[in-house]
């Protein structure tokens, strides 16, 4: 397993080790908590030397994502190197039937993936659940809006970036991961955000479980790449938000 230079994963080197806990866990462990038979990260010398200080071996973490995203035989031919993250992301989007432009940035494609899941979930949400989600991201007068209008609002929140976009990402990702790997994000949140995460677990859980069943469930690679990509999307939003906040603070 060897890391390929990948500009879309380099931001991992800027994260603190605690932020990467969930990503490393989902790469190593299956939904029942057992160690994945196909993982190679725990055999890596850097992992053995520095775990749980993930930042010191972030390239090994990135390489694990790349290798799970590549065909095993093809990876061997590439000298143990997998595929670039954008290819992994696009493959996940294809499996999840997400519309995206392949020339878009990975951030935009990740947002398309999360919006697709949220769109499907909104159709299953009660008015009370929809209002709670809207309240969490600062949308007022939700009772006057249709589900379709609400989705437009959420899409605008994503495009605007900043704290609300980060919040919305955390809410969606937390629910997805609970359905996929049996545990949500360990990233700290305020009480209101935590409550909203719990409310959304049901609707998004139904959507992601249905999609999961429709995917080639016999492929162990997708059991890794789908939650890993979801984790990376959340970490990217965290990094972008914190970078933006620090620039404002020191400007």
Could you read off the pLDDT of 7-56 as tens digits, one per residue? 999 999 999 999 999 999 999 998 888 898 888 899 999 999 999 999 99
- Quick check: bond before 13 cis, omega within 30? no
Indicate the domain borders of the chain: 10-250
- Residue 120: CB atoms within 10 A of its CB come to 18
Could you read off the pLDDT of 178-232 as tens digits, one per residue? 777 778 777 655 445 556 566 666 666 666 666 656 555 446 677 888 889 999 9
The pLDDT-based confidence of 152 (bands split at 50, 70, 90) is: confident
Between 28 and 159, the higher pLDDT residue: 28
Q: Does residue 81 surpass a pLDDT of 80? A: no
Tell me the whole-structure pTM to 2 decimals: 0.85
For residues 64 and 80, the answer to whether their CB atoms sit within 8 Å is no
For residues 64 and 27, the answer to whether their CB atoms sit within 8 Å is yes
Cα separation of 193 and 215, whole Å? Answer: 30
| Cα–Cα–Cα angle for 71, 76, 79, rounded to 5 degrees | 125
Alpha helices in the chain (DSSP H): 21-28, 45-50, 58-69, 72-77, 85-95, 106-122, 127-136, 147-160, 162-181, 191-214, 222-250
């Amino acid at each position: 397993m060897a890391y390929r230079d990948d500009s879309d994963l380099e931001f991992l080197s800027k994260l603190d080790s605690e932020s990467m806990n969930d990503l490393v866990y989902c790469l190593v462990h299956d939904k029942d908590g057992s160690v994945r038979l196909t993982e190679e990260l725990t055999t890596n010398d850097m992992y053995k030397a520095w775990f749980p200080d993930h930042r010191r071996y972030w390239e090994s973490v990135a390489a694990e994502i790349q290798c799970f995203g590549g065909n095993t035989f093809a990876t061997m031919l590439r000298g143990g190197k997998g595929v670039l993250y954008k290819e992994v992301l696009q493959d996940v989007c294809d499996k999840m039937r997400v519309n995206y432009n392949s020339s878009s940035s990975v951030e935009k494609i990740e947002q398309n993936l999360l919006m697709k899941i949220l769109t499907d979930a909104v159709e299953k949400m009660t008015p009370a659940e929809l209002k709670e989600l809207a309240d969490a991201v600062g949308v007022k007068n939700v009772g006057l809006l249709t589900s379709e209008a609400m989705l437009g609002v959420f899409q605008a929140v994503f495009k605007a970036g900043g704290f609300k976009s980060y919040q919305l990402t955390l809410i969606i990702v937390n629910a997805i991961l609970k359905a996929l790997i049996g545990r949500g994000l360990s990233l700290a949140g305020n009480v209101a955000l935590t409550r909203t995460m719990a409310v959304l677990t049901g609707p998004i859980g139904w959507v992601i479980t249905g999609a999961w069943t429709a995917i080639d469930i016999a492929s162990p690679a997708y059991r890794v790449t789908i939650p890993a990509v979801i984790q990376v999307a959340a970490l990217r939003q965290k990094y972008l938000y914190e970078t933006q906040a620090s620039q404002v603070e020191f400007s």
